[in-house]
Amino acid sequence: MTRPYYIAGNWKMHKTRSEAAELAKSLVVQLKGGKHTYLVAPGFTCLETVGAIVKGSNILLGAQNMASEEQGAHTGEVSVLQLKDLGVQAVILGHSERRHTYKEDDELINKKVKLALRHGLEVILCIGELLSEREAGQAENVCETQTVKGLAGVSVSDLERVTLAYEPVWAIGTGKTATPEDADAIHAYVRGVIAKLYGKDAAEKIIIQYGGSVKAENAAQLMAKENIDGALVGGASLKADTFVPIALFG
Ligand code: PEP
């Protein structure tokens, strides 16, 4: 089956509103007519500004995280209701920086996944192993556990609003990319995990992005692989000059 390619830019903790606006305007112009699915995920403070610019374009508005509770006494957190109020359509959950720097575990991430889906958002659920886990031969196991636990309690119909992003932690922001073959092997394995959980149809349909030092030079080779359906791009998403060639590949 042919799955649509889905290219997302995670702007992380970069950009003021005016910088974000400049980039968003440029992307709206340059990605117009682009044949893939696109998303940008600016920081919380830029969501409203960027949302107004991408509205009506072919670029979805994403957030980089959200609270696990709907609302209440959670100082410093941002709720799903607040994201929806800003027009956010999707949320990245379980990013390795959330898992490893901010110690989010699979249970917390699963709570967020279910909350986002309950409120009609799309989810990009990130999974991926550390270098030490890969070297210990544990890459598949780690990705399987993160997938199974991250999706616990998610129905097959809600799964249609979930994208997976395989991001080996050792490849994020390091300039090291998994080879297309190594990445594809994990994608195929994870697709098998989805087949076990949800059946073959759901597994064929689910989009699995690759993330980890994706740039114009390696994007096409990665996405040519059978099981790689797009990219979650960090560093190279911060400039139109580096993101657009990835987004318009093929
Ligand atoms: C990311 O943070 O999701 C990511 C893949 O970053 P980079 O492209 O910079 O490796």
Note the pLDDT tens digit of each residue in 68-93.
Answer: 999 999 999 999 999 999 999 999 99
In a domain, 63, yes or no: yes
Asked whether the predicted pLDDT for residue 1 surpasses 90, the reply is: no
Domains contained in the chain, number: 1
Mean pLDDT of 133-152: 97
In a domain, 46, yes or no: yes
In a domain, 112, yes or no: yes
Strand 230-233 relative to strand 208-211: parallel, antiparallel, unpaired? parallel
Residue 199 binned pLDDT confidence (cut-offs 50, 70, 90) = very high
> Probe ligand 1: pick from 169, 213, 215, 243, max atoms within 8 Å of CB?
213
Q: Which two tokens stand for residue 58?
A: 């072919």
Asked whether the predicted pLDDT for residue 193 surpasses 80, the reply is: yes
DSSP state letter for 101: I
In a domain, 29, yes or no: yes
CA distance 34 to 52: 20
The protein residue with its alpha carbon nearest to ligand 1, atom 7, reads: 234
In a domain, 1, yes or no: no
Predicted TM-score of the model (pTM) = 0.98
Closest CA to 168 of 228, 96, 91: 96
Mean pLDDT of 126-131: 97
Mean pLDDT of 144-163: 98
Dist. CA 193 → ligand 1 center (Å): 24
Q: What's the pLDDT score for residue 187?
A: 98
The pLDDT mean for the chain works out to 97
- Cite the beta strand spans of the chain per DSSP E: 6-10, 37-41, 59-63, 90-93, 122-127, 162-166, 208-211, 230-233
Share of the chain above pLDDT 90, in %: 97
Q: Contact, 205 vs 160, CB < 8 A?
A: yes
Q: Which domain holds residue 241?
A: 6-247
Mean pLDDT of 226-242: 98
Q: What's the pLDDT score for residue 98?
A: 98
- Ligand 1 atom at minimum distance from 174 CA: 10
Asked whether the predicted pLDDT for residue 2 surpasses 90, the reply is: no
Asked whether the predicted pLDDT for residue 66 surpasses 90, the reply is: yes
Mean pLDDT of 38-60: 98
Beta bridge partners of 165: 126, 209
- Ligand 1 atom at minimum distance from 165 CA: 3
In a domain, 231, yes or no: yes
Instruction: Identify residue 193 by its one-letter amino acid code.
Output: V
In a domain, 151, yes or no: yes
CATH number for position 100: 3.20.20.70
Residue 176 binned pLDDT confidence (cut-offs 50, 70, 90) = confident
Q: What's the pLDDT score for residue 177?
A: 86
CA distance 38 to 212: 17
Dist. CA 9 → ligand 1 center (Å): 9
Share of the chain above pLDDT 70, in %: 100
CA distance 197 to 141: 15
